[in-house]
Each structure stands twice: as C-alpha cells, then as structure tokens.
C-alpha cells in the first residue's frame, strides 16, 4: 500500500533530523527509531499532501517525520509509565538505558518536532498539533486513573482511545491537508478522517487483545483485563451482565494477578453476550465515518490509498 521509495525516504529524513550533537541522545534515538514501526503517521501526512496537489519534498518530509518523533516520544514516555519490558519485540528503551535518559530523550523528541514545525510549518498547524499532544497526555492520565474502575463510561473510554492514537492520526492528516493548501473546512475533514481511523485502529487492538494468540500479540491474551482495564468488548455488554458476573469482572480487574480461570470466564461471558461482534461493528462504523470525510477531496490514486488504508484497519489479522 505504501511505496518502498517513500518509506526509504522517510527513514533518511528520520535520521537526518535527529541532529543533536549529544551522541548519547542519538544512540537512544536511533535505538528506538530503528526498532521499526509502520511509519503510518508520516505516510498519512504525505498522502494528504499529495492528494491535494502533489508535494514539496523539502518542506513536507521534515513535518512528516516530526509527527513520527511525536509518536516516538509518546512511546518512550509510555514505556516509562507502564514499566514496559519490551517494545516491538526488542528490550524496551527504558530497560536498556534507564527511565531517566528515556524521559529526557522523549522530551528532546517532542521539542524537536515542535522546532521543525516552527521552521517548515505554520502557527495553525502548531495549534492543532500541540492540542493533540495535550490530549494524548490527558488520555493516558485518564487511562491510569481508571485502572480497576468498574464505572468507566463509554465517553471516558473513547477519550482514552483518542489520546492513545486517534488525535495524533488526526493531526497527521490535518498537517498533510494544510501542506496541500486545503481550506479550513477540508483540514477539519482530514482531521476527522484521521481521528476515526485512529479510533477504529485502537478498537481493533482491543478486540485482538481478546481474540488473538499470545504468539501474535507478544503478550498474554486479555492483557488489558489483567492490567485492570475495561475495553470496548466488555464495556459494550456491561449492562447485560448479571450481578454475579459483574462481581467476577470487578474481582478480575482489581486483582493484581488474576487467575487464568477467572480471565477465561470473563472472556467467555464477553463473547457470549456479543461483545466481540459489537466491537467489530463499531470499528466498521468508524471506518465508514472516516471514508465519508473524504467525499469532497479530489478523486485520484491517493484518495484510493486513504480508503484502502481505512478498510485495512478493520480487516487486519482476524
């Protein structure tokens, strides 16, 4: 779906603009950047720019990689927050370099991204992007706060999802559209496309957490439940649970190491009550919302790519 040449160029720019002369920082930055990732965020920026009028490499790539730096910064801080041991199949940066350096490298990457925006972007993009970074922190704080909480609402859940993935996806599309010279209304539609595919992406993550295998996930199935997090599959059937079933859920999400039997029982209940189907339906609905946002954009190969991307999100791996 993404051209190899574009990906290679993204990699080049990613290392070019990590231009600190503090060697230690480069080492950590390269460790995390080289551990892969699909570079979905830069691709979104570039595809919207191309969709609207072709693109200007020297101006657009720095901003495309700036969005990847923001993502990487949030992953670095996330690893510290979660006390993660692994990331993308490698030892997590905090385990290799320590929490202290990882926090500061994240800070550097955030600042570097905003710096690139001050050179190649405009003030309206910075407003949109910094608002998203605020929401990312808010969403993650809300998620922490809601661990072990039976009463998390759908509203709160979606706000957490927005912060995790969706607002940054939205900003990538917003920036790309702005680079393409879009008027405000079209920039907003681009943002909404990104927001909706981001939400769908995260819903599918939450779905796969129930249905996939430990081998594919790289962590135990139902990891969210183990960590005390109620996600959409369970949330969507909460009002159909008996009191006894609710007690079981409460026990599982408050237990620091719930038993495999209890986890399996909750999983079965969620499946029986239709939680998995609900999740897929909701994700499809969001993908359709996303595609609707594209209606007023030019009909060309890049539009097709964005439609495919949206659909791919719900069709992956199940």
**Where does this chain bind a second copy (CB under 8 A)?**
20, 22, 24-25, 74, 77, 80-82, 99-101, 103-108, 110-112, 114-115, 117-119, 122-124, 126-127, 130-131, 133-134, 136-138, 140-142, 144-145
* Smaller CB separation from a second copy, 20 or 56: 20
| Least distance to a second copy, CB of residue 159, Å | 9
CB of 21 or CB of 58, closer to a second copy: 21
Minimum distance between the CB of residue 35 and a second copy, rounded to whole angstroms?
A: 20
Nearest residue to 41 via CA among 90, 80, 75, 91: 75
Neighbours of 280 (CB within 10 A): 17
For a second copy, give the closer residue by CB, 164 or 267: 164
DSSP for 62-101?
HHHHHHHHHHHHHHHHHHHHHT-SEETTEE-HHHHH-HHH
Tell me the two tokens of residue 57: 């490499």
- In this structure, what DSSP letter does residue 238 have? G
H helix runs in the chain, sequence order: 4-16, 23-33, 40-53, 57-82, 93-97, 99-120, 123-145, 154-161, 167-179, 184-211, 214-217, 223-226, 232-235, 243-254, 260-272, 275-293, 301-315
Pick between residue 74 and residue 279 the one whose CB is nearest to a second copy.
74
Structure-block tokens of residue 282: 């909701």
Torsion of CA 268, 269, 273, 277, to 10 degrees: -40
Nearer to a second copy, 46 or 76 (CB): 76
- Least separation in angstroms between CB 200 and a second copy: 24
Specify the residue, 145 or 254, whose C-beta has the smaller distance to a second copy.
Answer: 145
Minimum distance between the CB of residue 17 and a second copy, rounded to whole angstroms?
11
Torsion angle, alpha carbons of 12, 18, 19, 20, to 10: -160
Shortest separation between residue 110's beta carbon and a second copy, angstroms: 6
Nearer to a second copy, 131 or 247 (CB): 131
Distance CA 124, CA 114 (A): 12
CB of residue 59 to a second copy, shortest distance in Å: 14
Residue 180 C-beta: closest distance to a second copy, Å: 20
According to DSSP H, which parts of 212-274 are helical?
214-217, 223-226, 232-235, 243-254, 260-272
The closest alpha carbon to 161, from 204, 121, 102, belongs to: 204
């Amino acid at each position: 779906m993404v051209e190899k040449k574009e990906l290679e160029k993204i990699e080049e720019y990613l290392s070019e603009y990590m231009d600190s002369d503090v060697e230690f920082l480069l080492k950590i930055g390269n460790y995390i950047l080289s551990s892969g990732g699909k570079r979905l965020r830069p691709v979104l920026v570039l595809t919207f720019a191309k969709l609207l009028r072709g693109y200007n490499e020297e101006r657009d790539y720095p901003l495309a990689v700036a969005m990847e730096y923001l993502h990487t910064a949030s992953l670095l801080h996330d690893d510290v927050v979660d006390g993660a041991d692994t990331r993308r199949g490698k030892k997590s940066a905090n385990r290799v370099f320590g929490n202290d350096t990882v926090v500061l490298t994240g800070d550097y990457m955030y600042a570097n991204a905003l710096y690139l925006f001050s050179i190649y972007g405009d003030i309206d993009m910075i407003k949109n992007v910094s608002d998203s970074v605020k929401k990312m922190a808010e969403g993650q704080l809300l998620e922490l706060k809601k661990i072990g909480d039976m009463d998390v609402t759908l509203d709160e859940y979606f706000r957490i999802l927005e912060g995790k993935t969706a607002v940054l996806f939205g900003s990538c599309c917003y920036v790309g559209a702005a680079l393409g010279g879009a008027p405000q209304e079209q920039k907003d539609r681009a943002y909404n496309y990104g927001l909706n595919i981001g939400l769908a992406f995260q819903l599918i993550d939450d779905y796969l957490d129930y249905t996939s295998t430990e081998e594919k996930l790289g962590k135990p199935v139902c990891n969210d439940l183990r960590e005390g997090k109620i996600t959409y599959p369970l949330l969507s059937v909460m009002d159909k649970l008996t009191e006894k079933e609710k007690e079981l859920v409460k026990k599982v999400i408050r237990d620091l190491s719930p038993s495999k039997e209890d986890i399996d029982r909750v999983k079965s209940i969620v499946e029986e009550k239709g939680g998995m189907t609900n999740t897929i339906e909701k994700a499809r609905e969001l993908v359709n919302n996303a595609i609707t946002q594209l209606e007023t954009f030019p009909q060309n190969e890049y539009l097709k790519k964005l439609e495919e991307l949206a659909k791919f999100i719900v069709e992956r791996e199940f």
